[in-house]
Amino acid sequence: MKKICLILAFVLALALSAQASFAADNSGKLNLNVATVEQLEAIDGISHELAEEIVKARTENGEFVDMSELLDIDGVDNALLRKLEKVIYIEPASDCNC
Please report, for the domain that includes residue 50, its CATH number: 1.10.150.320
Q: Domain range holding 80? A: 28-89
Reported as a single tens digit per residue, the pLDDT across 60-91 is 999 999 999 999 999 999 999 999 999 999 99
**Residue 47 within a domain:** yes
Rounded to 5°, angle at Cα 94 from 49 and 61: 35
> What is the number of structural domains in the chain?
1
Reported as a single tens digit per residue, the pLDDT across 8-67 is 444 444 444 444 334 446 788 999 999 999 999 999 999 999 999 999 999 999 999 999
**Residue 19 within a domain:** no
32, exposed or middle or buried, with CB in 10 Å at 0-12, 13-18, 19+?
buried
CA–CA separation, 16 and 45 (whole Å): 36
CA–CA separation, 93 and 89 (whole Å): 13
Please report the pLDDT score of residue 97 as a whole number.
Answer: 58
57, exposed or middle or buried, with CB in 10 Å at 0-12, 13-18, 19+?
middle
**Residue 22 within a domain:** no
**Residue 60 within a domain:** yes
Please report the pLDDT score of residue 66 as a whole number.
Answer: 93
**Residue 11 within a domain:** no
pTM exceeds 0.85: no
